[in-house]
Each structure stands twice: as structure tokens, then as C-alpha cells.
């Protein structure tokens, strides 16, 4: 997929295609001349997306699929092969989340997040890789997020899933290193303006709002199409990810502690909101389209966005301070006297 003529007609499977980044990616590939196989739990929502992609000129197949069901994902791969005769690109995009204190979030919610965000992506790869090996080529694109680099207090299972997905993807890439035309690619977007924040589970009893900057989902979709054209191990969308990645490497637990403090302050003053399982166990009543509607709003920092962003900045500042020769000696002395 390096030339325009080769991209035309590429068979692209997209999971989590009913809204947000998934829908934006489907439309981007439709404009690029791809043949699409769209998957998500909500068949009606998929049909709406497929209808728009067909208007854009893309042959489109809809396969309602729960990626936590390995047999269902194998069926998705079979349908894609029957539809297009091959699979050129598989975009593994499903992602769910929950905000709440770990012990106040139901164990079933933690388990479902791991099943969707980690096991679901492994199921995708388990179905796609044998097809790629038989073909001798293919591009598998994992949607991870900045959560693969920096922990999110009050979203413990989400953090576990994203750290785990990063490790899984790196392991799979290493296994397939002797296959030059099979590529495992990772996407790490910053905070993105999708309906996902409204759809997510919320066990805090407080309304959650994102803090700028939140990025257009179409920007992430363009990065995904770019990976299909020129595969590489990872692409980062949003400069905040670089900052948080560096902050985590230099500060480790310091950033997470700072994020937790910011979140706790936010929860104390945020508006009340219902406790809800969100879309963890069932599709949302309203898929919501591509945009979350947050880019035009100025809200207070959210646990998912503001706390981590502030913590990343603080960690970087502390690391730079500690790197000064006079301060390294002082900090070592402070740790000997019980400083955290």
C-alpha cells in the first residue's frame, strides 16, 4: 500500500466503527477508495455509517461483532475474506473505559474493560495474522492511546488494558519481524473529541468534562490511513503524548500521584451526575456520530484529561529540576531523610 493505484480497492476491516475515531476512519478510508468491512456491537449504528461510506463511493460490508467473543471475530475475518478476497488492513479500534475509585468500581466493570481493550484486540490479531501470513502481507493497526505511556488514576482497569496492549503489540511485532510485508502498527492519540467520554462508565457521581486541547477525530483517522500507506511501528497524535511519555519515563509514580490529587480536587467541585455502566455491557442508545462536541466548550479539567496533563507537565518540570547538578545531591539527601 505504497502507491495510489495499490491503495484503491484495499480491503480494510475496522472494529469499533460505529462512532468516534472508528467512524472517522471508515469515512477516511472510503474517500481513499477502500473496500470496507465495518464491525461493532450495534448493527443499526453500523448501517448508518455504511450508508454514508457508500455515498462516498466505497463498497461496504457490515458485520455486527462483539470483539470479546473470539468466535465472532473469526467469523468477521471470514466475512471479510468472502467480501473482498483478502484483508489488506485491519484497524483494531475498540475501546471502553470507566472512571471511579478502584474499590468503588464493580469488579465486572474492570473485567469488561480488560476484555474489550486487551483481549478484544488480541482476538482481532488472532484472526488477522493467519490471513496475513497466508497472503504474505498485511497491516494490523492497534488503537492504544496516551494511556499506554502514562497511568490514569481513577481509571485503573483502563490503564492496565492500555499498558497491556502496548506490551502485546510490541511482542507481536517482534514475532513477525521476519515478515517484512506484515506490519504491526500502534496509534497513540492524545485526548480526542469523540462521544466516548459520554458513553463511558462513570462511578464517581460527578460530571466529567475534558480539558483542552482535545483533537479532532479526523486527525487520528488521517494518521491511521497514513499508517496503511507507509507502515511504521507507531504514530503519536498530539504533542501532549510526547510530554506525558517523557514525564512518565523520568518521574514514574510522581506523575500518577500528582494526577490523582488533581482529580480528587476536580471531583469535589464537579457537578453531580448519575452513576452508570455506560457502554461497557451494551451499546449506547445514541452512537453519537464522530464528534463529542467538546472542542467548542471550555470546561473544568476532567479526571481523564486535566489531571494527567497537569501531572505530565509537573513531572517534566521536576525531572528537569532534579537533573541540575546541585539539585541531584539535595534530592538524594532528602530521600535519605524520608522524603517520598
Q: Would you call the peptide bond into 213 cis, given omega within 30 degrees of 0 as the criterion?
A: yes
pLDDT confidence tier of residue 36, bands split at 50, 70 and 90: very high
- Please report the pLDDT score of residue 252 as a whole number: 63
Longest alpha-carbon distance in the chain = 68
d(CA 176, CA 131): 13
The CATH number assigned to the domain holding 76 equals 3.40.50.720
When mean pLDDT is compared across 166-175, 212-221, 276-285, the lowest value belongs to 212-221
Sheet holding 89-92, edge to edge: 60-62, 35-39, 11-15, 89-92, 138-143, 182-189, 234-237
Residue 202 pairs with which residues in a beta bridge?
99, 276
**CB-CB contact of 309 with 146 (8 Å):** no
- What single string gives the DSSP state of each residue in 257-320? HHHHHHHHHHHHHSPB---B-TTSSS--SS---S--S-TT---PPPTTTHHHHHHHHHHHHHHH
* Higher pLDDT among residues 311 and 101, named by residue: 101
How do residues 290-325 score in pLDDT, each as one tens digit?
Answer: 998 887 544 443 444 444 454 444 444 444 444 444
d(CA 286, CA 298): 24
Residue 308: CB atoms within 10 A of its CB come to 33
Contacts with 340 (C-beta within 8 Å, 6 or more apart), sequence order: none
- Section 265-279 average pLDDT: 90
- Section 159-174 average pLDDT: 97
Instruction: Confirm whether 266 is a catalytic residue.
Output: no
Q: Is the pLDDT of residue 207 over 80?
A: yes
At 40, list the grid cell.
Answer: 461493532
Residues 86-95 as b or e (16 or more Cβ within 10 Å = b) = bbbbbbbbbb
**CB-CB contact of 328 with 262 (8 Å):** no
Q: What are phi and psi of 85, to 5 degrees?
A: 80, -10
**CB-CB contact of 118 with 96 (8 Å):** no
Q: What are phi and psi of 53, to 5 degrees?
A: -65, -35
Choice among 158, 188, 203, 266 that is catalytic: 158
The number of distinct structural domains making up the chain is: 1
Q: What's the whole-number average pLDDT of the chain?
A: 85
Distances from the Cα of 266 to the Cα of 14, 153, 259, 270, 307, angstroms: 35, 13, 11, 6, 9
- Section 238-255 average pLDDT: 68
At 291, list the grid cell.
Answer: 464528534
- Please report the pLDDT score of residue 49 as a whole number: 98
Nearest Cα neighbor of 124 from 178, 183, 197, 73 is 73
pLDDT confidence tier of residue 266, bands split at 50, 70 and 90: confident
d(CA 317, CA 251): 10
- Section 75-92 average pLDDT: 98
**CB-CB contact of 184 with 169 (8 Å):** yes
The gap from C-alpha 214 to its chain's centroid, in whole angstroms, comes to 14
pLDDT confidence tier of residue 285, bands split at 50, 70 and 90: very high
Residue 138: CB atoms within 10 A of its CB come to 25
Helix (H, G, I), strand (E, B) or coil at 135: helix
At 165, list the grid cell.
Answer: 496492549
Domain range enclosing 225: 4-336
- Please report the pLDDT score of residue 294 as a whole number: 83
Q: Is the pLDDT of residue 119 over 60?
A: yes
Amino acid at each position: 500500500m505504497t502507491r495510489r493505484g495499490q491503495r484503491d480497492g484495499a480491503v480494510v476491516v475496522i472494529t469499533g466503527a460505529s462512532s468516534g475515531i472508528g467512524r472517522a476512519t471508515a469515512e477516511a478510508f472510503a474517500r481513499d477508495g477502500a473496500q470496507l468491512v465495518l464491525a461493532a456491537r450495534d448493527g443499526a449504528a453500523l448501517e448508518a455509517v455504511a450508508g454514508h461510506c457508500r455515498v462516498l463511493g466505497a463498497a461496504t460490508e457490515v458485520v455486527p461483532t462483539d470483539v470479546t467473543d473470539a468466535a465472532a471475530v473469526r467469523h468477521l475475518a471470514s466475512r471479510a475474506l468472502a467480501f473482498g478476497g483478502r484483508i489488506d488492513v485491519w484497524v483494531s479500534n475498540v475501546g471502553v473505559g470507566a472512571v471511579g475509585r478502584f474499590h468503588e468500581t464493580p469488579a465486572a466493570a474492570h473485567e469488561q474493560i480488560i476484555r474489550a481493550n486487551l483481549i478484544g484486540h488480541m482476538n482481532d490479531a488472532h484472526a488477522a495474522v493467519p490471513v496475513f501470513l497466508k497472503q504474505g502481507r498485511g497491516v494490523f493497526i492497534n488503537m492504544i492511546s496516551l494511556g499506554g505511556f502514562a497511568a490514569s488514576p481513577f481509571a485503573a482497569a483502563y490503564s492496565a488494558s492500555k499498558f497491556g496492549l502496548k506490551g502485546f503489540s510490541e511482542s507481536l511485532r517482534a514475532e513477525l519481524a521476519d515478515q517484512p510485508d506484515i506490519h504491526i502498527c500502534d496509534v497513540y492519540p492524545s485526548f480526542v473529541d469523540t462521544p466516548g467520554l459520554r458513553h463511558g462508565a462513570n462511578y464517581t457521581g460527578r460530571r466529567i468534562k475534558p480539558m483542552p486541547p482535545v483533537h479532532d477525530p479526523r486527525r487520528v483517522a488521517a494518521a491511521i490511513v497514513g499508517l496503511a500507506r507507509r507502515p511504521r511501528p507507531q504514530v503519536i497524535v498530539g504533542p501532549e503524548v510526547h510530554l506525558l511519555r517523557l514525564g512518565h519515563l523520568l518521574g514514574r509514580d510522581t506523575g500518577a500521584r500528582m494526577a490523582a490529587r488533581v482529580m480528587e480536587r476536580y471531583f469535589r467541585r464537579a457537578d453531580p451526575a448519575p452513576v452508570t455502566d455506560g457502554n461497557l455491557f451494551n451499546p449506547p442508545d445514541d452512537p453519537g456520530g464522530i464528534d463529542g462536541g467538546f472542542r467548542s466548550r471550555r470546561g473544568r479539567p476532567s479526571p481523564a484529561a486535566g489531571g494527567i496533563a497537569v501531572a505530565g507537565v509537573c513531572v517534566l518540570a521536576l525531572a528537569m529540576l532534579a537533573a541540575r547538578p546541585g539539585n541531584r545531591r539535595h534530592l538524594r539527601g532528602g530521600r535519605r531523610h524520608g522524603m517520598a
